[in-house]
Structure formats: C-alpha cells, structure tokens
Amino acid sequence: MLKKALQNAPPARDFMGALRAAHLRTGLPGLVAEVKRASPSWGIIGVDFDPVEIAQANENGGAACLSVLTDEKYFKGSFENLEAIRRAGVKVCPLLCKEFIIDAWQIYYARTKGADAVLLIAAVFPHLDIRYMIKVCKMLGLAAVHDEKKMDLVLGIEGIELIGTIITLVKTFKVDINNTKKLLQGEHGQRIRQKDNIVVGESGLFTPDHITLYKKLVSKLFWLGCQL
C-alpha cells in the first residue's frame, strides 16, 4: 500500500545539495532549522505552535534545510505536521523527517508524507539492518542522516554521504559542543575527508556564538551543516 502511495508523493529534493549550496553561497555552515513543539529536556517549547508558520519563517530566514519532528510520544510531533509543511509551499528547503525509525515501512511512509530525508540512528541497528535501511533510502531518493555511536560501522558502509554527530548527549541531555570535534579527530576525520562526506552537528545549538564556535572547530576540515 505504501509503495503504491509513493506514486502520488512529491519529488524528493536534494538535502545534501542544499547544504553544499548554502555553504558555497555564504562560507558558513548550512543550517538545518528545526520545527519542534517539545522535547524531553525542555518540555513544551511553544504554546502557540504553528508548524507551517515556523517552517516558512525558517526558510525565509535563510535555512538550508528543515528538520520536522514527527515523533509524538517525546516531541509532540506528527506526520500531519510534515505533510502540512510540504503542502503549504515550503519551496526551497528539503525536509528531514525526524523520527525514531526502526523498520523500513517508516521510511516509505515518511516519503509519502513529503520527506526528502530521514534520520537513521546508527546505534539502533545491527550491521546488516542499517545497510538495508540505507539501500531503501537510496531507492526512494532520500538522504540518510546518522548519529555517531558506531562511527567505524558507518564509515565502512558503501554509499554513506552524510554523517550526523550528536552534540546533545542522549543519555544525560548534556550539551557538549566539542563532541563533534572529538568524533572527527584522527583516523575518522581522515576517512571522512577522503570520502568527501558531509558532516552535520546535530542539536544543541541555540545562539550565533554557538555557530561561530562550531565553525572554528571543524569547518576548515569538512563540508558542514549545523542543526539548531
């Protein structure tokens, strides 16, 4: 049923291309702005939450891509929000479906709702499963974004183009902006440069000073995106 529904899905837009274009245009990290009503650490972020209005404001403000929370339990999101944003005329920014994905059907479902990219958390999957998930993403034209907990595994998978590194530590919700620098040092950094991967520092960035510091840490080494 989902494969049939894909026939009516809007064409997938180039998530990684948008990050590269923003970096080339500005010399700064391409920004992945987030449409999020709540989080486990912050609680309800905005009472008057209008996902379409927020998405349009972020696009007009210069965001390269948008991350839309669809998880209901922890982030009070929904796939209806994702679909509404895509239908409302967000014309430039590719949309990342930010969901806890554990099964391939969720990737197909996200595509039918207008997602251009999905979040795959490497620590969740056994080796063969994450390879399969990436294969599904490639067939559908989606970008696969990875949080780093299995960096060696991720770097060993053919076809990986974009790697996400966590700034907010999941178990404690402590923000460590230097975490990305630690993850990209040494052999890991060399392999990423050789493969010309895009690196996205995920979450925990709130101010222009954070972006400036982050740019100093790693932007001389990698294509770079930041997720607010």
Each of the 228 residues of the chain gets a pLDDT tens digit; together they read: 888 889 888 889 999 899 889 888 888 778 888 999 888 777 888 778 899 999 999 999 999 999 999 999 988 999 999 999 999 878 889 999 999 999 999 999 999 999 999 988 887 777 778 888 988 998 888 877 666 567 777 877 777 778 877 766 556 666 666 666 677 777 777 787 777 777 777 766 777 777 776 666 654 444 444 444
- Structural domains present in the chain: 2-227 (3.20.20.70)
* Whether the Cβ atoms of residue 45 and residue 75 lie closer than 8 Å to each other: no
Query: C-alpha 77: how far from its chain's center?
Result: 15
Phi, psi (deg, nearest 5) at residue 202: -100, 120
Q: How many CA atoms lie within 13 A of 179 on its CB side?
A: 21
Q: How far apart are CA 150 and CA 12, in angstroms?
A: 28
* Whether the Cβ atoms of residue 214 and residue 177 lie closer than 8 Å to each other: yes
| Global confidence as pTM | 0.84
Instruction: Give the count of beta carbons closer than 10 Å to the beta carbon of residue 128.
Output: 8
Query: What six digits make up the tokens of 78?
Result: 């929904």
**Is the C-alpha dihedral spanning 208, 52, 95, 61 positive or negative?**
negative
